[in-house]
Amino acid sequence: MSIRTMQSAEVKELLHKVAGFNKTGGNERAKQVVHRVMHDVFQIIEDLDITPEEFWQAVYYINELGQNSEASLLAPGLGMDKYLDIRLDAEDEQAGLSGGTPRTIEGPLYVAGAPQHHAFARMDDGTDSAAEVMILTGQILDQDGQPLANAVVDVWHADSKGGYSYFDRSQSEYNLRRRITTDEQGRYTARSIIPSGYGCPPEGPTQKLLNQLGRHGNRPAHIHFFISKPGYKHLTTQINLAGDEYTYDDFAFATRDELVVDAHRIEDPAEAASFGLAQPFTKVEFNIQLVPTERTELQTRHQRQRALESEVTESQPTTA
Ligand code: MBD
Ligand code: FE
For residue 160, pLDDT over 50 is answered with yes
Residue 124 CB neighbours (<10 A): 22
Q: What is the pLDDT of residue 180?
A: 98
**3 state SS of 281:** strand
Provide the residue ranges of all domains of the chain, joining segments of one domain with +.
9-72, 92-298
| 280, 266 Cβ separation under 8 angstroms | yes
Q: Which residues, in sequence order, are bridge partners of residue 265?
A: 282
Nearest atom in ligand 1 to 162's CA? 2
Ligand 1 binding pocket mutation candidate from 82, 106, 219 (most atoms within 8 A of CB)? 219
Q: Which residues, in sequence order, are bridge partners of residue 120?
A: 189
Q: What is the pLDDT of residue 311?
A: 59
Q: Which residues line ligand 1 (CB under 6 A)?
A: 73, 76, 105, 107-109, 198, 219, 252, 254
For residue 317, pLDDT over 90 is answered with no
CA of 198 to the centre of ligand 1 (A): 7
Q: What are 200-248's pLDDT values in tens digits?
A: 999 999 999 999 999 999 999 999 999 999 999 999 999 999 999 999 9
For residue 316, pLDDT over 60 is answered with no
Within 8 A by CB and 6+ apart from 108, the residues are 72, 73, 75, 76
Q: What are 278-307's pLDDT values in tens digits?
A: 999 999 999 999 999 999 999 999 999 999
Task: Give the chain's mean pLDDT.
Answer: 96
Q: What are 5-51's pLDDT values in tens digits?
A: 999 999 999 999 999 999 999 999 999 999 999 999 999 999 999 99
For residue 262, pLDDT over 80 is answered with yes
Please give the CATH number for the structural domain made up of 92-298. 2.60.130.10
- Average pLDDT value for residue range 246-264: 98
CA of 291 to the centre of ligand 1 (A): 25
Q: What are 166-188's pLDDT values in tens digits?
A: 999 999 999 999 999 999 999 99
How confident is residue 141, by pLDDT bands cut at 50, 70 and 90?
very high
Q: What are 111-129's pLDDT values in tens digits?
A: 999 999 999 999 999 999 8
Phi, psi of 177 (to 5 degrees): -140, 120
